[in-house]
Chain A
Amino acid sequence: IAGITQAPTSQILAAGRRMTLRCTQDMRHNAMYWYRQDLGLGLRLIHYSNTAGTTGKGEVPDGYSVSRANTDDFPLTLASAVPSQTSVYFCASKPGGETGELFFGEGSRLTVL
């Protein structure tokens, strides 16, 4: 089934460790996004990429980095995890064109101790 795959689905991580959340889509969408969801705060945009080879900062980019080497993959890296990065992370993609709906993955639940 076409869509967005996120991995891992859940991870417990010690503070200070490096972690990469993986996101792969097979819909050939140009744009991809990373959001974090925290209780009572809804979804906040971390980083985005409008097309392969380009990335941009969202609302809460500090402590995170992304890369977009190709159309399908958009990994999110926490270089040195801190407890405040405990959250559920969602990857999303959007077809070509600047407006339109986002398609979401099922999320990665990250706990930083």
Chain B
Amino acid sequence: SQQGEEDPQALSIQEGENATMNCSYKTSINNLQWYRQNSGRGLVHLILIRSNEREKHSGRLRVTLDTSKKSSSLLITASRAADTASYFCAVMDSSYKLIFGSGTRLLVRP
């Protein structure tokens, strides 16, 4: 079974709005990562947060991690049409394998 499960499965927002995606996982982790996938392309790494970190920023991205609730969130601020993509969380487990969730499809309307 998959470790990371994203919520919502799909999200449609207006350009300029913020987009928030959530991820829940089941077991202890080494770190949690977020990836982006444009349609028909490979995945691209966005940000990594370690198990001893609570929040991390990268440009318009903000990631939080709550290990007590086994959950993470990805916030994209001031969204742009070019942010339209699928976003995946992935957890690195104790054996250092990266296990992905099913993803959130984000549509940013111009």
Interface residues of A (CB under 8 A from B): 4, 31, 33, 35, 40-45, 48, 50, 56, 58-59, 90, 92, 94, 98-107
**Which of B41, B42, B44, B97 is the one whose CB lies under 8 Å from A58?**
B97
Are A45 and B99 closer than 8 Å at their CB atoms? yes
Complex Cα–Cα for A48 and B88 (A) = 19
Q: Which of B88, B92, B100 has the most CB of A within 10 A?
A: B100
Are A101 and B97 closer than 8 Å at their CB atoms? no
**Which of B30, B50, B100 is the one whose CB lies under 8 Å from A35?**
B100
Complex Cα–Cα for A101 and B99 (A) = 12
Are B48 and A100 closer than 8 Å at their CB atoms? yes
What's the minimum C-beta distance from A112 to chain B, rounded to whole angstroms?
A: 20
User: Does residue B24 face the partner (Cβ distance < 8 Å to A)?
Assistant: no
Chain B contacts for A43, CB-based, 8 A? 43, 88, 90, 100
**Which of B44, B50, B96 is the one whose CB lies under 8 Å from A104?**
B44
What's the minimum C-beta distance from A10 to chain B, rounded to whole angstroms?
A: 11
Interface residues of B (CB under 8 A from A): 1-2, 4, 30-31, 33, 35, 40-45, 48, 50, 88, 90, 92, 96-103
| Nearest CB in chain B to that of A107: its residue | B42
Are A106 and B48 closer than 8 Å at their CB atoms? no
Complex Cα–Cα for A55 and B103 (A) = 27
What's the minimum C-beta distance from B87 to chain A, rounded to whole angstroms?
A: 11
What are 14 A-B contacts defined by CB distance under 8 Å?
Answer: A41-B102, A42-B2, A59-B99, A90-B42, A90-B43, A98-B30, A98-B96, A99-B30, A99-B31, A101-B45, A102-B33, A102-B45, A102-B90, A104-B42
What's the minimum C-beta distance from B95 to chain A, rounded to whole angstroms?
A: 8
Complex Cα–Cα for A92 and B43 (A) = 9
| Nearest CB in chain A to that of B88: its residue | A42
What's the minimum C-beta distance from A108 to chain B, rounded to whole angstroms?
A: 11
Chain B contacts for A107, CB-based, 8 A? 40-42
Q: Which of B41, B90, B97 has the most CB of A within 10 A?
A: B97
| Nearest CB in chain B to that of A33: its residue | B98
Are A40 and B96 closer than 8 Å at their CB atoms? no
Chain A contacts for B31, CB-based, 8 A? 99
